[in-house]
Amino acid sequence: MSEAAPVIDVTGLTKIFGKKTVVDHIDMRVARGEIYGFLGPNGSGKTTFIRMLCGLLRPDDGAGTCLGFDVRGQAELIKPHVGYMSQKFSLYEDMTVRENLDFISRMYGVADRAGAIDRTVARMNLGRFRDQLAGTLSGGWKQRLALAACMIHEPQLLLLDEPTAGVDPMARRDFWDEVHKLAGEGITALISTHYMDEAERCHRLAYIAYGHLLATGTVAEIVAAEGLATYEISGPKLYDLIDRLRGLPGVEQVVAFGLTLHVSGRDGAALAKSLEPFGREPLAVTRIPSNLEEVFISLMRKATT
């Protein structure tokens, strides 16, 4: 595999459960060493898509390669080079940290098991929990253990499905530092998340909703492509304003942001016109750049209507 060849290169990947099309013809290309963020509302098909990439689910349609191997016929060749972290903690809670890591490394046929475990434990700071049952670890440490387990065989691709759900900010930051370090070593990562701050730490993003891919690109590209105008309103008694603003021409989102309101819409001219009467004292209206969350909510609204 040459440097330039994408690690993930799939087109038209589709999964149907019963009558429901959960993933509907999604294309994705992820380059080597890239941290690729995967966003979308709950039930949008993120987990299903990730599971198809690593052979946990068989695609109903579509084709492509993962690490140069065919996703439909060569799942067994993909597996040894992928580290997968599922949404739910899926190591053995009734085994110790060391036993879990040992078992996983035996599954992957890691050559120097003791060495690999020692290195991974040291890297993830799991030393003092070595002989503790995995089930007794706190959420943040469980997640670190899960990351340790999916790295122990030195995979080329990490598929992380909402790895930081329910983890405190400090642990999340440590986790992301680790992911960036790995990316620096040439490891590719596809990470699904609901956190906007995490999305902004990715090199590139894909946004999917209800099985459809709605946007891809860097944060700036996605924000620019949506062409969303956003205004900030500040002043007293803002809560009374919310209902009055909603329903005005051009107004698509009204969100309370601390002591201000963010009002956004894709039709910038209509929005500016509707907000004009609110620009007087004691209120103040200023144009601000749209943030990622507003863009995503806008994308999601478009998908449902």
Question: Taking the complex as a whole, how short is the minimal distance between the CB of residue 90 and other proteins, in angstroms?
Answer: 4
Residue placing its CB nearer to other proteins in the complex, 92 or 257? 92
Structure tokens of 143? 């997640």
Question: Taking the complex as a whole, how short is the minimal distance between the CB of residue 122 and other proteins, in angstroms?
Answer: 22
Structure tokens of 229? 């105008």
- Pair 87, 46: CB distance under 8 Å: no
Beta bridge partners of 232: 262, 286
Residue placing its CB nearer to other proteins in the complex, 7 or 82? 82
- In angstroms, the CA 75 to CA 72 distance is 7
What is the spatial order of strands in the sheet that 229-234 belongs to? 253-257, 260-265, 229-234, 284-288
Question: Taking the complex as a whole, how short is the minimal distance between the CB of residue 94 and other proteins, in angstroms?
Answer: 5
- In angstroms, the CA 294 to CA 266 distance is 11
Beta bridge partners of 206: 38, 216
- H/E element holding 216? strand 212-217
Q: How many residues does the chain have?
A: 305
- Pair 261, 294: CB distance under 8 Å: no
Residue placing its CB nearer to other proteins in the complex, 8 or 54? 54
Question: Taking the complex as a whole, how short is the minimal distance between the CB of residue 114 and other proteins, in angstroms?
Answer: 14
Residue placing its CB nearer to other proteins in the complex, 77 or 288? 77
Question: Taking the complex as a whole, how short is the minimal distance between the CB of residue 192 and other proteins, in angstroms?
Answer: 15
Residue placing its CB nearer to other proteins in the complex, 100 or 230? 100
Residue placing its CB nearer to other proteins in the complex, 94 or 185? 94
Question: Taking the complex as a whole, how short is the minimal distance between the CB of residue 88 and other proteins, in angstroms?
Answer: 4
Structure tokens of 77? 């060749």
Binding site for other proteins (CB under 8 A): 51, 54-58, 76, 79-80, 82, 84, 86, 88-95, 99, 103-104, 106-109, 133, 149
Rg (C-alpha) for the chain, rounded Å, is 22
